[in-house]
Chain A
Amino acid sequence: MRIGVLAVQGAFAEHISRLALLGTEGFEIRQRKDLSAPFDGLILPGGESTAMRRLLKELDLLVPLKTMIQNGLPVFGTCAGMILLAKEISGGEAPCFGTLDITVRRNAYGRQLGSFRCREQFAGSEIEMPFIRAPYAERVGENVTVLAQHENRIIAVREGSQLAAAFHPELTDDTAVCKYFLQMVAKSPLNVV
């Protein structure tokens, strides 16, 4: 199993080291030619979504990656990655991939002084969740499953082959969310022969 990690900006190294911990190969996607070898899943890491979307366009990565996601390539977005996937961004900003049927609010907890850690249930197990200038989902579409909430705000969702979290599981020792995604990849119709 090979997982591509978008590496144009942000905390991509943390995702790759979590994958390595679970014995899975992760590789960096920095430009178009990095997409030439086949891969089984895609991670969109934390970072600044405005910087990433600009780089996705400049580096001609936006269209090919969007096509892959639409064709069912399993994708996992954390924080900025959740914003990149969202169909709608509250406040009127244009969406980036726009493939995940949620409305996301950026910097929903305010500036850095509003960043926090908590423990919440994620798909049946309690895990540590760091929120760094994090978003949350204000609205989810009817085909979207809510996987985690904090104080009645939606912070993790799944729609088909797309998984998104407002927090950063890659910054903790808990690999539950990463494992959940790798399960999605393993069960993906694209990868089951």
Chain B
Amino acid sequence: MEDRYQLNKELAQMLKGGVIMDVTTPEQAVIAEEAGACAVMALERIPADIRAAGGVSRMSDPAMIRSIQDAVSIPVMAKCRIGHFAEAQILEAIGIDYIDESEVLSPADDVYHVDKRKFSVPFVCGARDLGEALRRIAEGASMIRTKGEPGTGDIVQAVRHMRKMNAQIRHAVSLREDELYEEAKRLEVPYALLQQVHDDGRLPVVNFAAGGVATPADAALMMQLGAEGVFVGSGIFKSGDPVRRAAAIVQAVTNYQDAKMLAELSAGLGEAMVGINESEIQLIMEERGK
């Protein structure tokens, strides 16, 4: 299993510097692949629509996921509900490349997450801070993303989560070895993982930004804050010109430090997704699964 976990962490390494796009149809998946997405997330409804529709939100129909697997050659990811290990087993059975145990769907378990070490297939999980990230890694996640606030087109939560996680990592690095025990207790994480963060100055797995990315500038902001890549959910296919916006965000992630190029990429993209402010939303998804 150790070997498998290593291979799963390494697939995340191959996704670095890339954009993972939410898609709901094979046609959208092809648009994403042609725009330069490094992977797609297959789901029936993008987060903005999940938010609008309300009700219980579940794993997508395996037939729909398969149709997307057939349409593209890049890795295909799909979401299961937090703690819903049977949904995860089904996704593994159809040979998914990565499972997102996601707060975007309605949690199936309000105490336990999926024991991800029991699976051969890799998992990515959301985290708002270092504690959540290391707890997910202890459970077997081989990739982490910020939670952000999905389906809002508002970047503020993703920024908050990325800054907090990196501040906590810097703090862990600054501690004396004998102070790490107390910090591990305070963060409610295994000591060995915190020690690894202390030694390496980074998470033990790849860390992407997710939640609220709607523009090339949003993507560049998250990359400059230390994200190793970006998930874009509703931001592309809820916008006026998905084809151009998708390609622009891909290029913005590659040249995130070149403001001149970002200016060109941001020009004439048409309407961005409308977006909802933090104070206007009813359902706070980031609170799910701590």
Q: Which of B36, B97, B120, B261 contacts A54 (CB 8 A)?
A: B36
* Distance to closest chain A CB from B224 (angstroms): 14
Q: Which of B13, B16, B251 contacts A55 (CB 8 A)?
A: B251
Q: Which of B74, B75, B122, B247 contacts A58 (CB 8 A)?
A: B247
A47 touches B33 (CB 8 A): no
Contact with B along A138-153 (1 / 0, CB 8 A): 0000000000000000
Interface-centre pick from B7, B250, B261 (highest chain A CB count, 10 A): B7
A7 at the interface (CB under 8 A from B): yes
Number of interface residues of B (CB under 8 A): 40
A112 touches B122 (CB 8 A): yes
A112 touches B36 (CB 8 A): no
The residue in chain B whose Cβ has the minimal distance to the Cβ of A115 is B7
Given A50-B33, A132-B7: A110 in contact with B95 (beta carbons within 8 A)? yes
B235 at the interface (CB under 8 A from A): no
The residue in chain A whose Cβ has the minimal distance to the Cβ of B251 is A58
B95 touches A113 (CB 8 A): yes
CB within 8 Å: A-B pair count: 114
Contact with A along B236-264 (1 / 0, CB 8 A): 00000000000100110111001001000
A107 at the interface (CB under 8 A from B): yes
Given A112-B8, A117-B3, A130-B7: A106 in contact with B73 (beta carbons within 8 A)? yes
A48 touches B122 (CB 8 A): no
B17 touches A12 (CB 8 A): yes
The residue in chain A whose Cβ has the minimal distance to the Cβ of B248 is A58
Number of interface residues of A (CB under 8 A): 35
* Distance to closest chain A CB from B76 (angstroms): 8
A31 touches B258 (CB 8 A): yes
A132 touches B10 (CB 8 A): yes
In the assembled complex, which residues on chain B have CB atoms less than 8 Å from the CB atom of A14? 13
Given A10-B14, A113-B120, A132-B7: A47 in contact with B97 (beta carbons within 8 A)? no
B7 touches A116 (CB 8 A): yes
* Distance to closest chain B CB from A62 (angstroms): 13
B250 touches A112 (CB 8 A): no
Give 4 A-B pairs besides A112-B75, A115-B7, A132-B14 with Cβ atoms closer than 8 angstroms.
A50-B74, A54-B36, A111-B75, A130-B7
**Can you give 12 contacting A-B residue pairs, CB < 8 Å?**
A9-B36, A10-B14, A10-B16, A31-B261, A46-B13, A47-B15, A51-B37, A59-B251, A80-B14, A111-B76, A111-B96, A130-B6
Residues of B within 8 A of A (CB): 3, 6-8, 10-11, 13-18, 33-39, 69, 73-76, 92, 95-98, 120-122, 247, 250-251, 253-255, 258, 261
